[in-house]
Structure 1
Amino acid sequence: MTTLPQTPEDIPNAFAAAWMARDAKVLAALFAEDADFVNVVGIWWEDRTAIEEAHNYGLRTFFSKSRLAIGRVKTRRVTADVAIVHARMRLTGQRAPDGSEAAGRSTILSFAAYHTDRGWQIVSAQNTDIVPGVETQLNTGVDLTPVDYRSR
C-alpha cells in the first residue's frame, strides 16, 4: 500500500518522486479511486486505473528519461480536510517523436485533495503548460497558436 502524503504541501513532491521512479502504480495510488486528471492538452482521465494506464504509457515511452523538478508551491486550505495545491514544475528530458530530446517546459499542476485516515489523497489534478509572453491560444482552423493581444 502506498503511503499518502501527510500534508497537502507534500503532494507535489510525492507526485514528482513517483514520476522520477517511473512508477505509475505509486503515482496513481496518490489519487482517489474515482479521481479526475486533465493533462496539458485536455485529455481527461476519470479514475485511478485510467490515470495509472496513461502515466505508465508515458513514463515508459516519451517521458522515460524525463526529469520533473518542483518550483513554487502554494496551498490553500479550503477546510481542515480539503486543500487546493498549485505547483510550478519544470519538465526536461521529454523525447520528441523523432527520438531527440525536446526543449524543457514549465507547467502548473493543480491538485484538489482531501484528508483521509492514511494521509492526503488527490481527487482532481489539472496540468497546464506555461507559455511565456502570451495571453491565450488562437484556433487558426489548422492548429492552436499562442497569441498576445496586449500592445507592445
Structure 2
Amino acid sequence: MTKMTKPEDLPGAFQAAWNGHDMVALGSLFDPDATFVNRFGHYVRSIEAIVALHVPIHETIYRDSTLQNELIDVTPIADGVAVVHFWSRLAAGAAHPAGPHLVDTLILAVLTKQGETWRIRALENVTLTNPRTGEAILRD
C-alpha cells in the first residue's frame, strides 16, 4: 500500500491500487467518512461503500484494466487541506463487454492531513465528453 505523505502522491497511489486491483489499498487512501462520485454520477460515502463499489468491477469488467494518472495541480486551501486535480486514462481490457478501449477522466479530490498521512475526504471523477454529442473523447 502506498502511503501519501504529500498531496502530490495521490495520482500515483490511486494508480498503484487500481492497477494492482487491490481494493484494500484503494480504501486505505480514503478518510473513513469520505465521499466518492464515480464517472457515472454514482455517489457513495464511507470507505466500506467505496470499496464495495469497486470490488465487483475489479472482479469482472475491469479485472484487466489499468490506469495512467497525471497530476494537473495541487491547491492548498487551509492548513492540512488541499484540492488535487489529475488526469486519469483508463485502459479497459478484453474483460470489458465493449472490449479493449480507452476512457479519459478528470479527477478532483479534496485531501486532509491526518498525522503524517494525507487521505481523500472527497473525490469526483468526470468522463471527458463532447458537449454536443455526449460521446466520450480522449484528451491530447
TM-score (norm 2): 0.87
Q: 1:53 to 1:75 in 2, by over 3 A?
A: same
Identity within the alignment, %: 28
- Residue 122 of structure 2 is matched in structure 1 by 124
- Residue 135 of structure 1 is matched in structure 2 by 131
Deviations 1:67-87 (A, max 9, x none): 100124211110231000011
Task: Give the Cα–Cα distance (whole angstroms) in 2 for the partners of residues 123 and 115 of structure 1.
Answer: 10
Matched, 1:146 2:128: no
- Residue 96 of structure 1 is matched in structure 2 by 96
Task: Give the Cα–Cα distance (whole angstroms) in 2 for the partners of residues 18 and 32 of structure 1.
Answer: 16
The 8 Å contact of residues 31 and 48 in structure 1, kept in 2 or not, is answered as yes
- Residue 106 of structure 1 is matched in structure 2 by 104
Q: Which runs of 5+ in 2 are unaligned?
A: 136-140
Aligned length: 134
Task: Give the Cα–Cα distance (whole angstroms) in 1 for the partners of residues 43 and 110 of structure 2.
Answer: 15
The 8 Å contact of residues 4 and 118 in structure 1, kept in 2 or not, is answered as no
Task: Give the Cα–Cα distance (whole angstroms) in 1 for the partners of residues 40 and 80 of structure 2.
Answer: 30
- Residue 41 of structure 1 is matched in structure 2 by 40
Tell me by how many angstroms 1:54 deviates. 1.2
Greater mean deviation of Cα atoms: 88-97 or 102-111 = 88-97
The 8 Å contact of residues 3 and 118 in structure 1, kept in 2 or not, is answered as no
Matched, 1:13 2:9: no
What's the C-alpha RMSD, in Å, of the aligned pairs?
Answer: 1.7
Moved over 3 A (4+): none
The 8 Å contact of residues 2 and 13 in structure 2, kept in 1 or not, is answered as no
Task: Give the Cα–Cα distance (whole angstroms) in 2 for the partners of residues 72 and 30 of structure 1.
Answer: 16
Greater mean deviation of Cα atoms: 20-29 or 64-73 = 64-73
Task: Give the Cα–Cα distance (whole angstroms) in 2 for the partners of residues 68 and 3 of structure 1.
Answer: 16
SS at match of 1:57: helix
SS at match of 2:134: strand
TM-score (norm 1): 0.81
Tell me by how many angstroms 1:118 deviates. 3.6
SS at match of 1:63: coil
- Residue 29 of structure 1 is matched in structure 2 by 28
- Residue 61 of structure 1 is matched in structure 2 by 60
Q: Which runs of 5+ in 1 are unaligned?
A: 137-144, 148-152
- Residue 138 of structure 2 is matched in structure 1 by none
Deviations 1:37-74 (A, max 9, x none): 00011111111101011111111111110010012421
Task: Give the Cα–Cα distance (whole angstroms) in 2 for the partners of residues 72 and 116 of structure 1.
Answer: 22
